[in-house]
Structure 1
Amino acid sequence: MADSSLRTVLVTGAGGRTGQIVYKKLKERPNQYVTKGLVRTEQSKLKIGGADDVFIGDIRDAESITPAFQGIDALIILTSAVPQMKPGFDPTKGGRPEFYFADGAYPEQVDWIGQKNQIDAAKGAGVNHIVLVGSMGGTNPNHPLNILGNGNILVWKRKAEQYLVDSGVPYTIIRPGGLQDKEGGLRELIVGKNDELLQTETKGIPRADVAEVCVQALNYEEVQFKAFDLASKPEGVGTPTKDFKALFSQITASF
């Protein structure tokens, strides 16, 4: 059964490309949710409207984020380290661009320590559900994403996921495939486990669809204590997903 009572939900990484969509979707459902956001800078706060319900804090500093967690019922974690391209890459000359992480913004600090701080803060606030958005590819230590900037980003994301599982708080771990800046609600969504979808042609998904799954996950007990990979069929293939209870009922893995 969907829960009809008003719940207070905090979206962290609310200034990010997917986080913005989740924050907006929750704000569009005022009869269901009281929405709060956490961003790192004043600039990010202004980018999503600058409302009083958006807090500024650094997830690497546990104390700085505590105020945002007061009185929340659920947490959606959308923070992630972001590799930067080294300047000087010329695509006309072939080869591959090189990437780096800014000092202090490595995956170990953002995806591990930062997410651990959030999970601890949420547990301390007594939340009843944490939705964590990770990434497909975590079963493969040699995945190309781990090589970017020598960051081992999927390794640290996986460590944070395990910490969430061990926390005792009801959780949902969503591991989307390649994120696309396309319209949501037009595709049939597919769930999987253990990176099996990476062996198929359908391993991408619009950010807007990931955002909708985050919001829908708050409503169904079927998706608590579950972890799943998420992708979509191409637009025009299959039937656009509207029944999220049915989608979530296909999930079998807890990690």
Structure 2
Amino acid sequence: MEKILIVGATGDTGMRIVEILNNSQSFEPVAMIRKEEQKGVFEDMDVQWVLANLEENVDHALKGIDKVIFAAGSGGDTGEEKTIAVDQKGAIRVIDAAKKAKVKKFVMLSSMGADDPSQHKKLQVYLEAKQKADEHLMDSGIPYTILRPGALTDDLGFAKVKLAEKLDEQGEISRDDVAFLLVMSLADPLVKNKVIEALEGEEPIKSALIEASK
């Protein structure tokens, strides 16, 4: 079983990722937490955890890890300093540690608009931070998938999506479906070294990912 480090495991999307991986036959989740008091929920799930802070050295968190899902995020409304600390510098710190640890794949949760932050004035700082982290990952030499979803909702996911390198529309997608897309992107042949945008749609997730991998 491959060990998967989930960065942002305590977040709404991160918890969904942990649950999916915990029921997988192929992957073993390792939840990265910032405070020791967060460990209880993962111990109750019988999930491994590691204590690490995105604003400090994280090299130890990558020991023995095969692949990474980065699902941490400031949310875009926590102030410029925090946004840059988490979404840009924190992500870059994990990417560099992952490279040292020779991880086999890095799956990044980014955001639609990260390709052109200046078009989204309200979220520009957040999207610029995401853009810089994405570019650092692409230049790192680590096999990667970068997922850029539309606005995230807490609606029930129906495992049907619309994927493309660039979608010419805005829209929403459930956290459930984003979590499944991130987990399925761990499979080595799928969407390797690809940036994909995602919205809710009509195509089943698996066939959409296979098509996006071509």
Q: TM-score, normalised by structure 2?
A: 0.90
Quick one: structure 1 residues 69 and 166, their matched pair in 2 at CA, closer, same or farther if it must change by over 3 Å?
same
1:213 and 2:181 aligned = yes
CA contact (8 A) 1:134 1:173 kept: yes
Q: Which amino acid aligns with 2:62?
A: F
Distance 1:252 1:219 in 2: 11
CA contact (8 A) 2:160 2:177 kept: no
CA contact (8 A) 1:20 1:48 kept: no
1:78 and 2:71 aligned = yes
1:213 deviates by 0.7
Q: Which amino acid aligns with 1:146?
A: L
**Secondary structure of 1:197 counterpart:** coil
Give structure 1 regions of 4+ aligned residues with deviation exceeding 3 angstroms. 47-52
**Secondary structure of 2:15 counterpart:** helix
Alignment partner, residue 96 of structure 2? 120
CA contact (8 A) 2:6 2:68 kept: yes
1:112 deviates by 1.0
Give identity over the alignment, percent: 27
CA contact (8 A) 2:190 2:213 kept: no
Q: TM-score, normalised by structure 1?
A: 0.76
Quick one: structure 1 residues 250 and 59, their matched pair in 2 at CA, closer, same or farther if it must change by over 3 Å?
same
Contiguous gaps of at least 5 residues in structure 1: 1-5, 85-99
Distance 2:71 2:60 in 1: 18
Contiguous gaps of at least 5 residues in structure 2: none
Quick one: structure 1 residues 13 and 21, their matched pair in 2 at CA, closer, same or farther if it must change by over 3 Å?
same
1:225 and 2:193 aligned = yes
Alignment partner, residue 248 of structure 1? 209
CA contact (8 A) 2:113 2:119 kept: no
1:52 deviates by 6.7
**Secondary structure of 1:80 counterpart:** coil
Question: Could you list the per-position Cα deviations for residues 83-138 of structure 1 after superposition, in whole angstroms to 9, with x for gaps in the alignment?
Answer: 55xxxxxxxxxxxxxxx528x52x21111110010001111111010000000012
1:44 deviates by 3.2
CA contact (8 A) 1:134 1:176 kept: yes
Alignment partner, residue 94 of structure 1? none
Q: Which amino acid aligns with 1:41?
A: K
Alignment partner, residue 194 of structure 1? 166
Q: Which amino acid aligns with 1:251?
A: A
> 1:204 aligned to 147, 172, 175, which one?
172
Q: Which structure features the higher share of helix residues?
A: 2
Question: Could you list the per-position Cα deviations for residues 47-74 of structure 1 after superposition, in whole angstroms to 9, with x for gaps in the alignment?
Answer: 4446571112111112xx2222101110
Distance 1:39 1:197 in 2: 35
